[in-house]
Amino acid sequence: MDEETNITKDQTSPAASAPAADEQGDFEKQRDEYLNAWKRSAADFINYKKDEARRFSEMSAYLAADFTKDLLPVLDSFELGMQAVPKDSPAYKGMTMIRGQLQEVLRKRGVERIAVKRGDVFNLEFHEAMLEEEVPASEPNRAALVGHILEELVPGYSSSGRVIRAAKVKLGKE
């Protein structure tokens, strides 16, 4: 029995409890490593979800712009057809309403017509020069029109800050 008492005393001695404290420190260190790894994984997953949402948004904007680009020639043809119909006819009024509805659908989707007027500065980002025409000497503001836009030939459109189709324009020259 003396041996049992000695063994029990040895197990409870400070020397025997020191490895247990070291073990607990190791467990706490390992726990902290696992916790930090989990936090990093959670942050990575949140960033992944944000990146995927951004990519999805960009892809849907690209697809919408692609569809709109295909639709614009139809709108152009419709407007050419309107020019062939007398303005006082009921057909013209109906066509005007249909064109307005189509433009409203595009507007709801974020598609805007690029504003172009005579005398605007030519900008490669928004305009495509189709031809140049000499500005007559009799034009009162001739100097202001040289190198600037004389006329919009085909309207341009943008969506979400991106040009879907540049406006095709006629430029003035000397």
Domain boundaries, the chain: 112-174
CB atoms within 10 A of CB 109: 16
Average per-residue pLDDT in the chain? Answer: 86
% the chain with pLDDT above 90: 55
Domain made up of 112-174: CATH architecture: Roll (2.30)
Q: Is the pLDDT at 130 greater than 60, yes or no? A: yes
Radius of gyration of the chain (CA): 37
Helix (H, G, I), strand (E, B) or coil at 12: coil
Query: Bridge partners of 133?
Result: 172
pLDDT at 69: 87
pLDDT at 17: 57
pTM for this one?
A: 0.64
Question: What is the DSSP code string of 73-104?
Answer: HHHHHHHHHHHHS-TTSHHHHHHHHHHHHHHH
> Once rounded to an integer, what is the mean pLDDT over residues 84-103?
92
Q: How far apart are CA 135 and CA 145, in angstroms?
A: 7
Closest to 79 (Cα-Cα) out of 62, 102, 56, 59: 102
DSSP state of 138: T
Which pLDDT tens digit goes with each residue over 13-69?
555 556 777 888 889 999 999 999 999 999 999 999 999 999 998 888 778 778 888
Q: Which two tokens mark 132?
A: 């140049």
pLDDT at 6: 52
